[in-house]
Amino acid sequence: MDKIRFATVWLAGCSGCHMSFLDLDEFLIDLADQVEVVYSPVGCDLKHYPEAVDVCLVEGAVANEDNLELIYQVRRNTKLLISFGDCAVTANVPAMRNMLRNSAEGVLKRGYLELADANAQLPHAPGIVPELIDRVTPVHEVVPVDIFMPGCPPSADRIRATIEPLLHGQQPEMAGREMIKFG
Ligand code: SF4
């Protein structure tokens, strides 16, 4: 039987959700037997998201042009997309900058001009630093999401309870405090 093609993606998040994924400890060994990891910031150094991915965990909100491009690629090439953690599900911490006039220009001016102690100037490095988009959004406002796994970060137990049924062709039951509590 072909292994499940498994990916994880890191958008605008602190990587805490991926750290929690690593807390799966010995289950990671079971997982490695059952899936083929085809893309991930953890242990995979691939530049392009591959085709025909079965399951992908997406950490983080959509906050810049690179995030947008990647999430469209992910959706086109993934059967089951899981919003992984509160930043993916609600935009959470990265969306705090939306209070600054819902504009990339507003947040850049606040951070680099109004609050600067010296050498106030706007950063500009096209092609090197991705441009911010005006409003940070949760993943499902950009592409359809199949499963929502909240948590900041989701505990390793919750991550396991979400992905283990998928390995056996079943849907996880995303209900109750243990599975869908935020924070
Ligand atoms: Fe970090 Fe929490 Fe966002 Fe995960 S949900 S990326 S742990 S801030």
Note the pLDDT tens digit of each residue in 3-19. 999 999 999 999 999 99
55 vs 65: CA distance, rounded Å: 23
What does the radius of gyration of the chain's CA atoms come to, in whole angstroms? 18
Per-residue pLDDT averaged across 131-136, rounded? Answer: 96
98 lines ligand 1 (CB under 6 A): no
Q: Is the pLDDT of residue 169 over 80?
A: yes
Q: Please state, for a pLDDT cut of 90, what percent of the chain lies above it.
A: 90
Q: If pLDDT is split at 50, 70 and 90, which confidence band does 162 have?
A: very high
pLDDT of 127 reads: 87
Question: Could you tell me the distance, in angstroms and rounded to a whole number, from the CA of residue 150 to the centre of ligand 1?
Answer: 10
Per-residue model confidence as pLDDT tens digits over 89-99: 999 999 999 99
Distance of CA 183 to the CA centre of its chain: 16
* Domain boundaries, given as residue ranges, for the chain: 4-180
Helix (H, G, I), strand (E, B) or coil at 47: coil
154 lines ligand 1 (CB under 6 A): no
Give the predicted TM-score (pTM) of the model: 0.95
pLDDT of 181 reads: 93
Question: Could you tell me the distance, in angstroms and rounded to a whole number, from the CA of residue 106 to the centre of ligand 1?
Answer: 24
Domain 4-180 adopts which CATH fold? Rossmann fold (3.40.50)
